[in-house]
Amino acid sequence: MRILVTGGAGFIGSHLVDKLMENEKNEVIVADNYFTGSKDNLRKWIGHPRFELIRHDVTQPLLVEVDQIYHLACPASPIFYKYNPVKTIKTNVIGTLNMLGLAKRVGARILLTSTSEVYGDPLIHPQPETYWGNVNPIGVRSCYDEGKRVAETLMFDYHRQHGIEIRIARIFNTYGPRMNIDDGRVVSNFIAQALRGEPLTVQKPGTQTRSFCYVSDMVDGLIRLMEGEHTGPINIGNPGEFTMVELAETVKELIKPDVEINMVENTPDDPRQRKPDITKAKELLGWEPKVKLRDGLPLMEEDFRLRLGISKE
Ligand code: NAD
Ligand code: UDP
Ligand code: UDP
């Protein structure tokens, strides 16, 4: 099996590559423009005979011969996707169109990593895949969430019109080793702040909720979806739901009991609650997450300590 992973130098992508490379029958090609990813995440595979790394921007056409495409390329952290919003929407729309054109030409199966952000600020809780969402089409997050919604539409139109084999995962907040240390997402922020002895910045009101999935569970879910018989969309996430104040208190307790917690201003359109309904993933993929937040956070702490050069007292 020859497998293309776009965005494979990023956080989830590099863990996916590690897993795919474990199977000796797989050859893996990564295409990444290194906007938020890094070669360092793939260090152990560079030079491996079954591995190839291409510097490539998915908004440009790509000619390779593959059997499967995991299409992840897209910045995922709000600070990065808002940095150049026009580029973000091009990546979602033109990038996905190119990967679908490639899938059509070579007859590959393609999986899109969509997002829980397609539900916007949800009016239904928890969110099942049948919910159409509550998304602001002109807000500062729209380049990302509306971009992913169009990407999903393109996937289904290529499926209906050209018979392409598609898979859509709606990923909920994911965390683990190799997250960018300063990428602004909440788990990476709190862990880095705790390790540096800086106050944890809880954005107001602090009662907003998220559900956090450890990256090994996520990768397992993505591979099951790709290998299974269902197009999706299927929610992949951990239904354990926490307020941002609860998350801060957990990080404080586990990593640095004397650290302060500061309430700071929030950004516009921040969803107030988010929790996946994973009935479909359980029934159709036989998948559910195994790693609890309290078990996953220390694994991420270990990785952040190494990269920040802060050893345990
Ligand atoms: P990430 O930022 O670590 O990885 C994204 C990768 O895509 C990076 O390596 C980046 O350099 C690359 N990339 C960005 N634009 C590109 C372009 N135009 N051409 C080629 N490569 C490009 O993010 P991640 O957390 O690993 O997210 C991976 C995927 O999962 C994304 O599609 C994201 O939308 C989705 N997702 C992630 C989460 C999460 O919590 N991490 C939640 C929902 C959805
Ligand atoms: N494409 C690509 N690699 C391929 C085949 C197509 O990147 O191997 C791109 C192509 O450049 C086009 C897009 O995918 O912009 C959609 O391709 P499709 O064949 O569906 O549409 P068309 O080329 O007819 O517009
Ligand atoms: N958040 C926070 N402090 C931070 C960064 C984020 O309280 O330092 C909050 C943010 O307001 C949001 C939640 O954490 O309610 C998740 O934000 P993140 O950017 O990680 O992901 P997303 O909004 O995409 O779910």
Nearest-ligand number for the alpha carbon of 106: 2
Q: Which domain holds residue 105?
A: 2-174+213-236
Structural domain includes residue 89: yes
Q: Whose CA is nearest to atom 41 of ligand 1?
A: 174
Question: Are residues 17 and 136 both part of a single domain?
Answer: yes
ipTM surpasses cut 0.95: yes
pLDDT higher than 80, residue 313: no
Answer yes or no: do 157 and 131 share one domain.
yes
Q: Whole-prediction pTM value?
A: 0.97
Tell the burial category of 25 from Cβ atoms under 10 Å away from its Cβ (0-12, 13-18, 19+). exposed
Per-residue pLDDT averaged across 224-232, rounded?
A: 98
pLDDT at 18 over 90: yes
- 179 pLDDT band, cuts 50/70/90, is very high
Clarify whether residues 259 and 297 are in a common domain.
Answer: yes
Q: How many CB atoms lie within 10 A of CB 124?
A: 13
Q: Which ligand neighbours the alpha carbon of 107 most closely?
A: 2
**How confident is the model over 226-252, as a mean pLDDT?**
97
DSSP string, 92-141: HHHHHHHHHHHHHHHT-EEEEEEEGGGGBS-SSSSBPTT---B--TTSTT
Considering its fold, how many domains does the chain have in total? 2
User: Which residue is closest in CA terms to ligand 3's atom 12?
Assistant: 270
H-helix or E-strand spanning residue 303: helix 293-308
At 42-52, the pLDDT tens digits run 999 999 999 99
Rounded Cα gap, residues 235 and 224, in angstroms: 12
177 Cα to the center of ligand 1, angstroms: 15
Give the pLDDT mean for 301-305: 96
Confidence of residue 151 (pLDDT cuts 50, 70, 90): very high
Average pLDDT over residues 81-98: 97
Same domain, 83 and 109: yes
* Active-site choice (70, 81, 119, 144): 144
pLDDT at 271: 86
Ligand nearest to the CA of 245: 3
Distance (Å, rounded) from C-alpha 183 to C-alpha 202? 15
Whether residue 102 is found in the same domain as residue 188: no
Are 34 and 25 a contacting pair, CB within 8 Å?
no
Question: How far, in Å, from the CA of 31 to the mean position of ligand 1?
Answer: 12
Query: Does 194 lie in the same domain as 51?
Result: no
* Atom 14 of ligand 3, residue of closest alpha carbon: 186
Question: What is the rounded CA–CA span in Å between residue 134 and residue 252?
Answer: 33
Least confident of 25-29, 67-71, 264-268, 290-294: 264-268
Same domain? For 183 and 151 the reply is no
| Ligand 1 pocket mutation pick from 4, 5, 11 by most atoms within 8 angstroms of CB | 11
Three-state secondary structure call for residue 304: helix
- Is 278 part of a structural domain of the chain? no
